[in-house]
Structure 1
């Protein structure tokens, strides 16, 4: 008897087994069950529906009495093979995605454009890369490596991002799956790519779709524990542009840590001055040492004075607003600023001196100044 609606090479010998069971009561042996599993796998690989496969298997026994036991075993084996093939295909797709993302973000150009089309990316367009960090495992790995104090040279940021530990518990992977599904539901599978790289959750989206950055941030805020932070690169064109945007986004996270910024979302476009400052490292080190070293001799330590300067700069020179930021009285702010002026010879009230002080304070944060060995 022919099996309807299936290629001729599937379910070969199925009706004969059913007829044999009806005559003798024998169930299919291991070899027969393995053949069913292989048929299930071939059906999945060819894109045939599981329903059609099972319907065909059941239809073969319609005119044969007492074949339910063998049908149950046959259908179970068919489904095992079908599901195993689907799982293997999913794993292969995930492996291909990880390999593609690694190649894309590292700038390995072999067949990138062709492979990008498979994932819906058109690399001739401009893309923005957004990265999210914040899982406990990730922060611990950073602390163990001392990156928070050492990752200050923009030229090292891309290399150091590759040193961050991967998430051993798989939590980022689970978040990635949920966030990617949500983004695809809203923007379509041909507009966004979400992946995990170097302990960061990475979102690649067209520059013409700025809402994707906000939606990605919304889902990170909803799923990541407190302490998360998002970095946003600038829009760049082509495969090299994706790499550049990714490095900018990762660097924005590093700079935000060094500057002790309180904001959750940092944009590379807002921090362009800081890589410029650090480009001449020896010059910024000399500025910090020359201007701020006298603060190390202050009673009560240098840190309250640096925090006061940061609050003054953030408040545009308004001492009352700075006092509110610090949680102290305006008189305390006035007193601290006078101490700074006497110790350093610089006053934030003078425009030129204010710029020098602010640049020195920013440089100090970026450099992790002062080193522990320099503290009295």
Structure 2
């Protein structure tokens, strides 16, 4: 270790050996469990202050600042690095060689003041360097994490490379995983806050392996293994959605949130498949104006099937339900009656309760639908086409929006 001490003060002898600095450094490092080489640029400054009263120059403090960056890069926390410097300071003062000590109280006071000033300067630049390096490390980690999340959800073509990258994040892509999306239902929903809260909650609930929480496209993406959910719910992706919604409420995340979880699928392509299912289900829930805060992707599978052949579903809605527009006021009332009737399990009494009308009104409207369309909800061979057309109308947001024109 190079002490780098400066000029001698008149009447003061130089220390016979600088081995004592190495002893101070080793003792402080052992006590704080920090690398001794973080003291290389610091101990000579302290010794120079104690012996000669010299303040460090800018370039010397810059060298200490670099030690702060090294500490962060080596995983040494700022608190431990500061403890190392404080420990080294009092040990150095206590172990000053006898030949450099003075019986002059004023000299002792001046030396102590010089040491404290160097300590103050050195700790300040040490922490500054540590913080700069930590910020840069976080930015690098966030960039790597964001790139990994994008590739994982998209389904990177390089399968072997994706498996290796996933292992760095503690994820075994050979196992089935759910992907859940958490989206704000209020314009001012704080997605970053929700992501931070949910990350802690997910780790507490499922552990820090096989889980991932990130932000993407203004939503929180949550990846959890299917093994963490009960067998019955795991296949549906329902359980994880309900748990995340509970965590949002329990931890008082402001605003209203919608949670959608895709089903679990194994393999590298399982994650993007679950993500795509959740993303499509979330979009469908918004288009259908669903009021549910937890949406089960499985419940929307029929809409996904219908949506994949828009030309066919447009023809079905136009052919089956188009005649309802002949009614004064439009098709909306009769369409809502059909929807309520099907949702009530074909029970007119329950449909009337949901619509806040009489049973007679419901039966009259259903008869009117049969008269206009030629499809009766009471006939099994016609009911399927009628209900499918109603589902398609919801998907197309008809009659609020006009049907797309023929290509």
The TM-score range, normalised by the shorter chain, is: 0.7 to 0.9
CA contact (8 A) 1:135 1:224 kept: no
**Secondary structure of the structure 2 residue equivalent to 1:191:** coil
TM-score (norm 1): 0.83
| 1:88-167 correspondence runs (5 A) | 88-110=136-158, 111-137=161-187
Q: Distance in 1 between matches of 2:214 and 2:73?
A: 26
Structure 2 contact 180–240 (Cα < 8 Å) conserved: no
Q: C-alpha deviations, 1:330-372, integer Å up to 9, x for none? A: 2322232232222222221222222121111111111232474
Q: Which has the higher contact order (CA 8 A, sep 6+)?
A: 1
Residue number in structure 1 paired with 2:255? 225
For structure 1, the residue ranges without an aligned partner over 5 or more in a row are 138-168
Q: 1:80 aligns with which of 117, 128, 134?
A: 128
Give the conservation status (yes or no) of the 8 Å contact 1:42–1:82: yes
| Pairing 1:152-301 to 2, within 5 Å after superposition | 171-210=190-229, 212-221=240-249, 222-223=252-253, 225-226=255-256, 228-301=257-330
TM-score by length of 2: 0.77
Tell me the SS of whatever aligns to 1:208. Answer: helix
Secondary structure of 1:10's partner? Answer: helix
The answer to which of 46-55 and 200-209 deviates more is 46-55
Structure 1 range deviating more: 319-328 or 356-365: 319-328
Instruction: Give how far 1:9 is off.
Output: 4.2
- Structure 2 contact 171–209 (Cα < 8 Å) conserved: yes
User: Which of 23, 40, 62 pairs up with 1:12?
Assistant: 40
CA distance in 2, matches of 1:258, 1:56: 60
CA contact (8 A) 1:183 1:215 kept: no
In structure 2, the residue corresponding to 1:277 is in which secondary structure? helix
Tell me how many residue pairs correspond in the alignment.
Answer: 343
Is the alpha carbon distance of 1:373 and 1:361 closer, same or farther for their aligned partners in structure 2, counting shifts above 3 Å?
closer
Secondary structure class of the residue paired with 2:221: strand
- For residues 147-195 of structure 1, the C-alpha deviation after alignment (integer angstroms, 9 at most, x for no partner) is xxxxxxxxxxxxxxxxxxxxxx892122101110111022111031111
- CA-atom RMSD, angstroms? 2.4
Distance 1:300 1:92 in 2: 60
- Bigger radius of gyration, 1 or 2? 2
Question: 1:224, 1:344 → 2: CA distance?
Answer: 47
